[in-house]
Amino acid sequence: MTEAAYDTDNIFAKILRGEIPSHRVYEDEAVIAFMDVMPQGPGHTLVVPKVPSRNLLDADPSIFGPLFTVVQRIAQAVKKAFSADGVTVMQFNEPASGQTVYHLHVHVIPRFNGVPLKPHTGEMEKSEVLAENAGKIRAALTTN
């Protein structure tokens, strides 16, 4: 089956262009990371390559090195920032898998023993909570 084309007006493309705000925790020439607005747990972060692709299926594989280097750094930082017991890394491709935003991204979520994930794209978190959590992650990144 042929998948839909990349939509340059998807929400992460707008965040990448600075057209809508986000709580950024990391940026380099290839990748940005920012807080998910409907977190499945405190510290839920999205790691996003700047180069456009709909998801993993149509991505140029040369981005996976830079992308997953940052995924690892963010995973280490959120574990430290939230004193988490573990970290879940998730990535969805096409609606059947649960994908809702069609620009490749990886979810990085701190996990705590016995605490289940909240629903995917559930409740919006308060901006001040996201800002505070972003600050904790930025601090952990600078001391890693």
Q: What residue ranges bind ligand 5GP (CB under 6 A)? A: 11, 22, 34-38, 92, 98-101, 121
If the CB atoms of residues 120 and 143 are measured against ligand 5GP, the closer one turns out to be 120
Three-state helix/strand/coil letters over 3-67: CCCCCCCCHHHHHHCCCCCCCEEEECCCEEEEECCCCCCCCCEEEEECCCCCCHHHCCHHHHHHH
| Under 8 Å between Cβ of 43 and 133 | yes
If the CB atoms of residues 99 and 133 are measured against ligand 5GP, the closer one turns out to be 99
If the CB atoms of residues 97 and 143 are measured against ligand 5GP, the closer one turns out to be 97
**Identified catalytic residue from 23, 44, 103, 105:** 105
Distance CA 39, CA 41 (A): 5
Whether residue 105 lies in the annotated active site: yes
Distance CA 133, CA 126 (A): 11
We find the least distance from the C-beta atom of residue 92 to ligand 5GP, in angstroms, to be 4
Active site residues: 105
